[in-house]
Amino acid sequence: MIEVKQLYRSFRGQKVLENISFEVKQGEFFGIIGPNGSGKSTLLRLISGVDRVTAGEVRLQGQLASSYSRKELARWLAVLQQDALPPIGFTVKEVVEMGRYPFQNWLGEDSEEAEPLIASIIDKLNLEPLVHRTIERLSGGERQRVALGKVMAQQPRLLMLDEPTTFLDIGYQVQMMDYIREWQCESQLTVIAVLHDLNLAAQYCSRLMVVHQGKIAAIGTPEEIITSGLIAEVYGTVPIVLQHPRNHAPQILLQPGK
């Protein structure tokens, strides 16, 4: 579904990404990890077509990402960020309905009957008690659930996550990732996720790519990537790596410095 070849991106003469090449298959849950400032979010913006590449190419379904119009992309690609909800004053239901914008004509009419879809999303995400509440009256976890509902309303085939759990407590982090994985499994959704938490990345992603100083440091399964040696090389700290007792995913324990 996604092909990235020899991608290069600079900003004001400064290299941000260099020689980035990888592929993501349909239905895959692909994680991008790496230290702050390594170029992860920039890479996501290039893949989604928001920014143009300096050199190289990004192909979505065999077609250059830059050749799609914004509305064409929005019909099958959605991006969930840390906090991307509209300004205050909109209700939960109104925000979820905004996800249908790419399918509306110039009169604001949807191309299909959207109300059953909106109702099912609200039910699936347990948003019914909040449906008439405005977003400024929601907690951080509730707001991110609404943001997820908005992108679900787009019915995308490709979902991109830009550190969507960064400001959430651990309960909401797991809840958010569980919702996304359930959605992915039900609809064969392709997911590309920039994640800050390595333990979450190891448990939810089928493959991981490590970006370090604008280059790919490694690509592989969580078992191949989450090793004390690679983490030490990229992050500058030596963790203890253990196997999760239930799902056997590699998990790290941090050690205090000297």
pLDDT at 241 (0 to 100): 97
Average pLDDT in the 131-140 region? 91
Kindly list the structural domains of the chain, giving each domain's residue range(s) and its CATH number in brackets, ordered by start: 2-225 (3.40.50.300)
Q: Is residue 127's pLDDT more than 70?
A: yes
Q: Is residue 142's pLDDT more than 80?
A: yes
Q: Is residue 126's pLDDT more than 70?
A: yes
The pTM (predicted TM-score) of the whole model is 0.93
Average pLDDT in the 14-31 region? 94
Q: Is residue 191's pLDDT more than 90?
A: yes
Q: Is residue 88's pLDDT more than 80?
A: no
Q: Is residue 134's pLDDT more than 90?
A: yes
DSSP for 60-126, please give it: ETTEEGGGS-HHHHHTTEEEE-SS-PPPTT-BHHHHHHGGGGGGB-TTS-BSS--HHHHHHHHHHTT
Contacts of 60 (CB under 8 A, 6+ apart): 1, 2, 47, 49, 68, 73, 77, 158
Q: pLDDT averaged over the chain? A: 90
pLDDT at 219 (0 to 100): 98
Average pLDDT in the 148-152 region? 94
pLDDT at 258 (0 to 100): 65
Please write down the long-range contacts of 6-15, taking CB distance under 8 Å and 24 or more positions apart.
Answer: 6/55, 6/56, 6/57, 7/43, 7/46, 7/53, 7/55, 7/56, 7/57, 7/58, 8/53, 8/54, 8/55, 8/56, 9/39, 9/42, 9/43, 9/46, 9/51, 9/53, 9/54, 10/54, 15/214
Contacts of 196 (CB under 8 A, 6+ apart): 33, 163, 165, 166
The model's confidence at residue 86, banded by pLDDT at 50, 70 and 90, is: low
Please write the tens of the pLDDT for every residue from 158-185. Answer: 999 999 888 889 999 999 999 999 999 9
Provide the percentage of residues in the chain whose pLDDT is more than 90. 67
Q: How far apart are CA 79 and CA 82, in angstroms?
A: 10
Average pLDDT in the 71-77 region? 85
